[in-house]
Chains A and B, each alone.
Chain A
Amino acid sequence: MAQYKLKINGRSYEADVDADTPLLWVLRDNLGMVGTKYGCGIAQCGACTVHMNGTAVRSCTLPVSAIGTKAITTIEGLSEKGDHPVQLAWNEVDVPQCGYCQTGQIMSASALLNKNPKPTADQIDTAMNGNICRCGTYHRIREAIVVASNKMK
């Protein structure tokens, strides 16, 4: 066990955990931020997606010891009131069914739009292909990303 200082959602946190503990479980078990979901544990489904220095990463395979001073953003910190353009678009398009994967989808989509505010259909498909939605909301995810992109201009 060791003490790790983490910068999450613009605030400082400390966690006393093993060096190999994935960020996912630090967030969920130690810091009580459960918006980031466990789906597969091997970076295959995208449910655990967070931003590290603005880039989408899979927190289930990211050891806490590898983070250092890099800034982490989780769904809880994407916006204060749930009004990030991607979140607004997700509601407008009525994307979620069971909803479990959607925070990960939103984090992947917002990271895409950070880097590429006007993605093509193919670019959306490529950026989102690492996120599984078992309910099959893919059409609405595509649509919501376009809606969010229009909001961000």
Chain B
Amino acid sequence: MATLQKTTRRNFMKLAAAAGGGLMLGFHWSSTSAATMEVITDAGIASGEITFNSYLSISPDGIITILSPNPELGQNIKTSFPMIVAEELDADWSKVKVVQAPLDTKKFERQVTGGSGAVPHSWERLRKAGATARHMLVETAAKRWNVNASSLTTEKSIVLHRESGRKLTYGELATEASGMAVPETVKLKDKKDFKLIGTAVRNVDNHEMITGKPLYGMDFHREGMLIAMVERPAAFGMKLKSVDSAAAKAMPGIVDVVTFKNNVAVVGKSTWQVLKARKTLKIEYEKDGNIESTSDHDKLFKDLLDSKEATVRRQDGDVETAFKNAAKIIKSEYQCPFLSHSPMEPMNFFAHVREDGVELVGPSQTPERAVGEVSKLLNIPVEKITLDLTRLGGGFGRRLQADYVLEAAEVSSIVKAPVKVIWTREDDMTGGIYRPAVRYRFEAALDATGNMIGYKLRGVGINAGNSTREDNFPSGAVDNLLIDSVEHKSPITTGAWRAPITNFLAFAEQAFLDEVAFSANMDPVKFRLNLLDRAKQTPVGAIKYDIDRMKAVIELAAEKSGWGTKKNLSQGFSVYFSHRSYVAQVAEIETRKGNPVLKKIYVAADCGIVVNLSGAYQQVRGGVVDGFGHAMFGKITFKDGVPDQKNFNSYRLVRMKEVPEVDVHFVNNGIDPTGLGEPALPPTGGAVANAIFKATGKRLKNQPFVLEEEMKGVNLGEKL
């Protein structure tokens, strides 16, 4: 505990000293009760008896500082969290500073970035913190002027008494306000009075990012720090047999070559020297499990789709009878490959394992997990481990894992020096933790009038866990339904990849529903709306999505895209609910000289209240670009356990030329924020594939699309 608290307290003391008075209000991320807030005093800091877990401070010069605890990886949380506090505080945004908190999960519940959950989790408590501080400032001004607090208003860090025209700045009131009682309850703003929330606010780190400041783990430097690179088994299913590191050890700048688990780490003084030395290692590996190739998986998928043993995920009505009585049965299969996360900043972490504790610095989406695993690995209590978060150069789920943190800790503990482990791009792409490869089989039974009376989905995945999302639409809208999954365990490591499972399931499902709609001679939008109406009127089993919210995004996307009204364009529709939010998309293809060209994707998103319009707009466009790019190009394939793709020359990421126009619209329904880091990604593949069908009559069923026979002659994105 000692070291963690020391770090935290040191920061507070520095701030308190700089403030030289002012108001520092501590509050709890983990509690929505204003009563648990407290004023932090110098005495409290000195005694170490601080029970709050975050703070906002107002210094006498009017500078407002807000602590942001969640890892920042481009989801813009470091800007949007403080915006919520500043809104209720009526703060002058130009005087707000944001500070990244060190890891302290005793204090910050859910100090995690993942699952699009940060804003939904903290919305109410952030608002209460801002409102409480505002209340105390207003009470202070009322006391000073001897007027009723209700006669005072606030704006841009100023308390106003309109009758007399008097005004006091928050800075002028702050020190005195720190002596006021913290109110037990406080009134929050009416949402219609929001001035800052819902506007476009620039990223608070823009200046640092565009001037190249050392924000990232890769940029972290410590005097005397060594660089380490780790050679891992080239093939999944192999283990280390022997190492000859004599040549590497003799190379200039190399300090040591050490072996742990199946890894060989070259430790030296500079990156290039370590890189060169690592290439001279002579390592032998031996078999440790199945050695699998993509061709094995393709075969396996077909077998497992017919397997008698599957885990039933959801069952409504009587599927067998429905399919027996069907007038028409539609059956279709969809498959996706493994994907690499490939954040632009490769994996890296700094560790210094000392006698008295461990210091960790770097980029992590789950700092708590990293500390816990390091504690277990080194048998050092978590209280003796500190972790400072750097900005993350992307995550996409890869940095939910702690493997690279453990490597740094292990190497540092062996060489007894401060070490930064750096992965090359090749290490990153071939080192595992992929989006799992999955194949789906969908079956729909239609009656004579085209109603869907039966629906079956089987998901087969390689280390995918439950490859279905059994309660998602159209579950609840079909009388007879069976959703099950089969899992294959493989030495190829997998993990959550932005919008886990739904990043591909959404495409497969939305493309299949398009097939069903066309088979039933129904407009795809009307088809979905009819199903939702059915689910509303006669729900089948549990319904775990909000039917009205889903209908609203469908209708908005149809309206904004001019669905069904554009004669010369081919449009494809898709809608998906994931991570609490709803997104519908329409992809639009223009056929020029016989070639279909993807022109534009319309997006209607319902993430509840939009906190930062600039961040949200880009989050959606980025999600669409991500969904489009990986549906088009992304694949990791294997030959004898070795990934075929090793760097961006063979693993194709979407580039500027290929990106269509993206037109974003938000449903403004006043619901508390429901998250946006992932939900815009899943629908894109389906919208694009359905538009291609409209333009060419060909169905894309496997990703990446570029490899499909149906793609011949299709020009996506590239300008003619």
Q: Taking beta carbons and an 8 Å cutoff, which residues of A are in contact with B?
A: 1, 17-18, 20-22, 25, 28-30, 32-42, 44-45, 47, 74-76, 82, 87, 90-92, 94-103, 106, 122, 124-126, 128-129, 131-142
Contact = CB atoms under 8 A, between A and B. Distances in A.
A54 B655 CA distance: 24
A100 B345 contact: yes
B562 interface: no
A35 to B, nearest CB: 2
A40 B656 contact: no
B315 interface: no
Given A76-B211, A134-B396, A98 B345 contact: yes
B342 interface: yes
A97 B719 CA distance: 26
Given A35-B211, A125-B656, A139-B659, A90 B623 contact: no
B383 interface: no
Interface centre among A40, A42, A45, A100 (most CB of B within 10 A): A100
A99 B391 contact: yes
B656 A91 contact: no
Interface string B343-355: 1111000000000
Contact of B657 (A1, A28, A126): A126
Contacts of B393: 37, 98-101
A29 B396 contact: no
B622 interface: yes
A39 B425 contact: yes
B180 interface: no
B105 interface: no
Interface centre among A82, A122, A136, A142 (most CB of B within 10 A): A136
A29 B625 contact: no
Given A40-B648, A136-B622, A34 B659 contact: no
Contact of B272 (A29, A40, A131): A29
B320 interface: no
11 contacts: A20-B272, A22-B272, A29-B272, A39-B345, A39-B346, A45-B425, A99-B210, A103-B212, A129-B656, A132-B648, A139-B659
B653 A132 contact: yes
Nearest to B219: A34
Given A35-B212, A76-B212, A98-B73, A134 B343 contact: yes
A98 B212 contact: no
Contact of A82 (B211, B276, B395): B211
Contacts of A18: 252, 272-273, 276
B271 A82 contact: no
B33 to A, nearest CB: 34
Given A38-B346, A44-B648, A87-B211, A94 B206 contact: yes
Contacts of A141: 656
A32 B222 CA distance: 11
Interface stretch (B123-131, B197-205, B298-306, B442-450): B197-205
Contacts of B396: 134
Contacts of B615: 94
Contacts of A140: 618
B101 to A, nearest CB: 19
Which 6 A-B pairs give the minimum distances between C-beta atoms? A35-B212, A136-B625, A100-B393, A98-B74, A97-B74, A99-B209
A33 to B, nearest CB: 8
Given A41-B425, A126-B657, A142-B656, 20 more contacts: A1-B252, A17-B272, A18-B276, A36-B212, A42-B425, A44-B647, A45-B648, A75-B210, A87-B211, A92-B202, A97-B618, A98-B394, A99-B391, A99-B393, A103-B212, A133-B344, A135-B626, A138-B655, A139-B661, A140-B618
Contacts of B425: 39-42, 45
A141 B657 CA distance: 12
Nearest to A38: B218
Contacts of A128: 656
Contacts of A32: 221
Contacts of A47: 344
A110 B663 CA distance: 27
A26 to B, nearest CB: 8
A101 B719 CA distance: 24
Contacts of B76: 97
Contacts of A38: 218, 271, 346
B624 interface: yes
A128 B342 CA distance: 19
Interface string B183-212: 000000000000000001011011101111
A18 B252 CA distance: 10
A136 B629 contact: yes
Contact of B424 (A41, A91, A103, A142): A41
Interface string B646-669: 011100011111010110000000
Given A37-B344, A132-B648, A99 B656 contact: no
A102 B218 contact: no
A29 B271 contact: yes
Interface centre among A38, A76, A92 (most CB of B within 10 A): A38
Nearest to B627: A136
Contacts of A126: 657
